Amino acid sequence: MDLLEYQGKQLFARHGIPVPTGKPAATVDEAVAAADEIGYPCVVKAQVLIGGRGKAGGIKVAQNTDEARTHADAILGMDIRGHIVHQVWIEEASDIKEEYYASVVFDRSASSTLMMLSKEGGVEIEEVAERNPSAIARLHVDPLLGFQGFHGRRLAFDAGLDADLIRPVGAILAQLYEAYVAEEAMLVEVNPLVVLGDRSVKALDAKVTLDGNALYRHPDNATLRNPGAEDAQEQMAKERGLTYVKLDGDIGILGNGAGLVMSTLDVVSLAGGKPANFLDAGGGSKAEAITSAVEVILSDPKVKAVLFNIFGGITRCDEVANGLVAAFHQINPQVPFVVRLDGTNDVEGRRIVAEANLPNVETATTMLEAAEKVVALAAGAPA
């Protein structure tokens, strides 16, 4: 789960990491009130989960109330590369002298925690890694040992920090690591970490990704919502406990098991089609879950045809077939379906589908055949 900048900064503040004073706002009036309270100059920052906000005009400095109103009015509702701005963060302006980069990363390939520090902040770190890899100091922290003082000193000295900054930056690195462990984050990134005119150091941005599987231990984090980050279908699927990802095509996909569904998307694309979604109905999918999933898929108006690709293991094909039949009775879909049932109880499942004699439902015996049929149907041709 990705946090918005201000949610990340509030999390930082709880762990003692210095951040500029600020307030979130969802309306122009709230934004102006927040700006008046914080004082001028202040910065109006769009809260969206995508980079390049500044270039898109989503970050503006306000010198007075009128400017705060003008900027908040322009930024709220703005579309930044497909992300609508529903909230702004009003923050005191900072007297920036230097821009650094710091991060704590859950490093899957090393099964460890990676920490990075660089004096070249304020730009994409990937760009620095490409152009000047030696500018990034990096080291792994043994998860069984945790962050030690020497880790901070090594990063700070390796990154080439001035002597007076070794101690404060080391302290912030320790706090970032502490926040990463305590909140069970997959990523904690500060870009830029700024040095101000008085040589104090602050986190001017916050990028935090939390582990969705650990949210049950963090009820406060679990309630953080990012309006606009999910579209209507994704929201609906989440409420129904389905694993759904919206894509931009017109062929609805339902399968069981993440790997098989990913493979189904690929095979449909190879057959010349464009999937509208990823939907994993999960292991042991019961009839009600299938009906519910069909509703989610069809709530996307772009969907012109639907493919069911099931290889039953724990999932039983007769359950899936019953769910499909129930869905037809309840919502009477107007688009054609292609159904491929293989694996546990497949003969029974196919019999149920055949006997229900549903309108617009084709069956297929293999994944490839099913993909070709659904692509033809979506294109308006008879399968």
Q: Cβ closer to other proteins: 165 or 256?
A: 256
Q: Cβ closer to other proteins: 222 or 358?
A: 222
Query: Which of the following is catalytic: 100, 101, 177, 244?
Result: 101
Q: How far is the CB of 4 from other proteins (least distance, A)?
A: 15
**What letter would DSSP give residue 166?**
H
Name every residue whose Cβ is closer than 8 Å to that of residue 128 and which is 6 or more positions away in sequence.
101, 118, 120, 135, 136
Number of helices (H), then strands (E), belonging to the chain: the values are 13, 18
Q: Are 212 and 1 a contacting pair, CB within 8 Å? A: yes
CA 183 to chain centroid, in Å, comes to 17
Which is nearest to 374 in space by CA: 307, 310, 321, 328?
Answer: 307
Q: Cβ closer to other proteins: 58 or 255?
A: 255
Site membership for other proteins, residue 111 (CB under 8 A): yes
The residues in 339-358 that bind other proteins, with binding defined as CB under 8 A, are 342-344
Which is nearest to 370 in space by CA: 242, 276, 263?
Answer: 263
| Single residue of 106, 177, 328, 337 touching other proteins by CB under 8 A | 106
Site membership for other proteins, residue 181 (CB under 8 A): yes
Residue 101 catalytic? yes
Site membership for other proteins, residue 134 (CB under 8 A): no
Name every residue whose Cβ is closer than 8 Å to that of residue 241 and which is 6 or more positions away in sequence.
289
Cα distances (Å, whole numbers) of residue 305 to 50, 199, 242, 299, 375: 31, 61, 20, 12, 8
What tokens does 348 get? 């029974």
Site membership for other proteins, residue 167 (CB under 8 A): no
Site membership for other proteins, residue 368 (CB under 8 A): yes
**Cα separation of 72 and 59, whole Å?**
10
Name every residue whose Cβ is closer than 8 Å to that of residue 299 and which is 6 or more positions away in sequence.
232, 233, 236
Name every residue whose Cβ is closer than 8 Å to that of residue 123 and which is 6 or more positions away in sequence.
none
Q: How far is the CB of 35 from other proteins (least distance, A)?
A: 32
Q: Cβ closer to other proteins: 12 or 311?
A: 311
Q: Cβ closer to other proteins: 96 or 260?
A: 260
Strands 207-210 and 185-196, bridge-based pairing: antiparallel
Q: How far is the CB of 343 from other proteins (least distance, A)?
A: 6
What tokens does 239 get? 């409420």
Query: Which of the following is catalytic: 91, 99, 183, 189?
Result: 189
Size of the site for other proteins (CB under 8 A): 51
Residue 243-272 contact track with other proteins, rule CB under 8 A, x = bound: x-x-x-------xxxxxxxxx-xxx-xx--
| Single residue of 313, 331, 347, 354 touching other proteins by CB under 8 A | 313
Q: Which of the residues are catalytic?
A: 101, 189
Question: Which residues are near other proteins by CB under 8 A?
Answer: 106, 108-109, 111-113, 126, 142-144, 181, 184, 186, 211-214, 216-217, 243, 245, 247, 255-263, 265-267, 269-270, 275, 278, 280, 283, 311-315, 342-344, 366-368
